[in-house]
Amino acid sequence: MPAKLNPDKARSALRTSAVLSAQTLLVLAMAYVVLWLLGRAWSVIWPVVVALLLTTLTWPVARFLRYRWNWKPALAAAFVTVLFLAVMAGIVVVIAVPVASQSGELSQGVVDGIQRVREWASGPPLNFGDDDITGAFDAAVERIQASAGNIVNYTLTGVNTVLNGVITTVLALFLMFFFLKDGPRFLPWLSKQLPGRLADDVPAVATRSWDTLGAFVRSQAFVGLLDAVFIGLGLWIVGVPLVLPLAVLTFITAFVPIVGALFAGFVAVLIALVTQGWVDALIVLGIIIVVQQLEGNVFQPMVQSRGLGLHAAVVLLAVTLGGGLAGIIGALLAVPVAALVSVVYVYVREQLSDSPPDPEPEVPPEPGPGEEPAASV
């Protein structure tokens, strides 16, 4: 005879489920409101995000000038800002101008490569002769061409877009200067404004988030540079044209983990296929695979001393979700946002745990824009 359900236990389970459901709905509603507010204030938030990313790249130089050479904060921030502008101007003159002049050829090469793959798929051994498949390929090529044309026209004729880009850049540079100059004062000031244990929790989470963001941006920039150099050198040895645009594309897409490397490699193989043939295309594919293996197993562990703590599957899902929600910007920001969410989750779990967290090795902390140095040098 089957056992009867206990009414008290059933009511308790239903009550617990109802409470959890209501709490979950409240959390989701709060998250929706926060995201809605972020979307409404995106014109202000986006320059701040750009400034923070630039500050993570330039802060080591400013820190060296401030705490090693005892420069004044304003002087160090101004010098680093001017140096950054000079480097960016040099990159535009040396790289961006030739890349822009070859961008049309690069786009046409991608389209021709897709057409070559379509022709190969329609012949032996695959013999894909279905008119629907052929029509789908043609529609994809036409859509790429139309999208490329729309993007070019929009860039050239969209005065509002250009103006917004200039305003965002100027605001980001000014904010970067102030972050470099006054960043170390922020967390002590914020700690005095918060009540109770928030005065300790918020600065602790902010410090961990800053360390994680800095580690991600600097490591991705350096690893992307290594990828661009080695892949560009391999393409040059094979004789593939458009080496400089492909190397720049490899560096830029390195900031989108996993997906960016696949996209840059796909474009390089297509260009080699169109201009050099199947043999050189396979050689280029081999070069890209070797460089990516070196990146994952050698470069990344050496450069990124403090990992993000995210599984590769989480990174892939985050990039996919970010790209689906906000396009290119979402794909670029997906991994840093996921890493910051992970930082908050780990900290909250530590505070709610019964046992204290595992002790970390005693390493002198490096001062960042959110904290003063432990001792003057």
Q: Which of 81, 42, 80 is nearest to 64 (CA)?
A: 80
Question: Both tokens of residue 293?
Answer: 């293996």
**What is the DSSP secondary-structure string of 187-206?**
HHHHHHHS-TTHHHHHHHHH
Residue 143's pLDDT band, with cuts at 50, 70 and 90, is low
Q: Comparing 303 with 227, which gets the higher pLDDT?
A: 227
Q: What number is the average pLDDT over the span 83-102?
A: 76
What does the buried/exposed string (b/e) look like for 101-117 if buried means 16 or more CB atoms within 10 Å of the residue's CB?
A: ebeeebbebbbbbbebe
Q: If you average pLDDT over residues 97-121, what whole number do you get? A: 67
| Cβ proximity of 155 and 56 under 8 Å | no
Residue 190 has pLDDT above 80, yes or no: yes
**Residue 28: pLDDT over 90:** yes
Residue 98 has pLDDT above 70, yes or no: no
Q: How far apart are the first and last CA of the chain?
A: 80
Instruction: Please report which confidence band the pLDDT of residue 376 belongs to, taking 50, 70 and 90 as the band edges.
Output: very low
Q: Please, are residues 270 and 285 in contact by the beta-carbon 8 Å criterion?
A: no
* 313 pLDDT above the threshold of 90: no
Query: Which residues, 6+ apart, have CB-to-CB distance to 38 below 8 Å?
Result: 45
198: pLDDT confidence band, cut at 50, 70 and 90?
confident
d(CA 238, CA 39): 46
In terms of average pLDDT, the best of 84-93, 131-140, 173-182, 312-321 is: 173-182
205-256 pLDDT, tens per residue?
Answer: 988 988 888 888 888 888 888 888 898 899 899 888 778 878 888 888 877 7
pLDDT at 193: 87
Taking residues 137-141, what's their average pLDDT? 62
Amino acid at position 213, single letter: L
Q: Compute the distance between CA of residue 34 and CA of residue 26 in angstroms, rounded to an integer.
A: 12
| Contact (Cβ atoms closer than 8 angstroms) between residue 45 and residue 166 | no
d(CA 160, CA 32): 29
Query: What count of other Cβ atoms lies within 10 Å of the Cβ of residue 10?
Result: 10
Average pLDDT, the chain: 78
Confidence of residue 175 (pLDDT cuts 50, 70, 90): very high
How many CA atoms, within 13 angstroms, populate the side-chain half-sphere of residue 36? 6
Structure tokens at 234: 């391999």
Inter-residue contact 310 to 342 (CB < 8 Å) = yes
Angle of helix 278-294 relative to helix 259-275, nearest 10 degrees? 160
Residue with tokens 């040895």, as numbered in its chain: 237
Q: How many residues does the chain have?
A: 377
Amino acid at 302: M
Question: What pLDDT does 276 receive?
Answer: 78
Is 50 exceeded by the pLDDT of residue 154? no
What is the number of helices (H) and of strands (E) in the chain? 12, 0
Q: Is residue 216 classed exposed, middle or buried when 0-12, 13-18 and 19+ CB atoms within 10 A define those classes?
A: buried
Alpha carbon dihedral 309, 310, 311, 316, in 10-degree steps, equals: -160
> If you search the block for the tokens 């081999």, which residue do you land on?
286
Q: Contact 240/246 with Cβ under 8 angstroms?
A: yes
Q: DSSP letters of 242-261? A: -HHHHHHHHHHHTTSTTHHH
pLDDT (tens digit per residue) in 1-17: 566 778 888 888 899 99
> What is the pLDDT confidence band of residue 158, given thresholds at 50, 70 and 90?
very low
- What are the φ/ψ torsions at residue 257 (nearest 5 degrees)? -55, 145
Q: Which residue has the higher pLDDT, 102 or 59?
A: 59
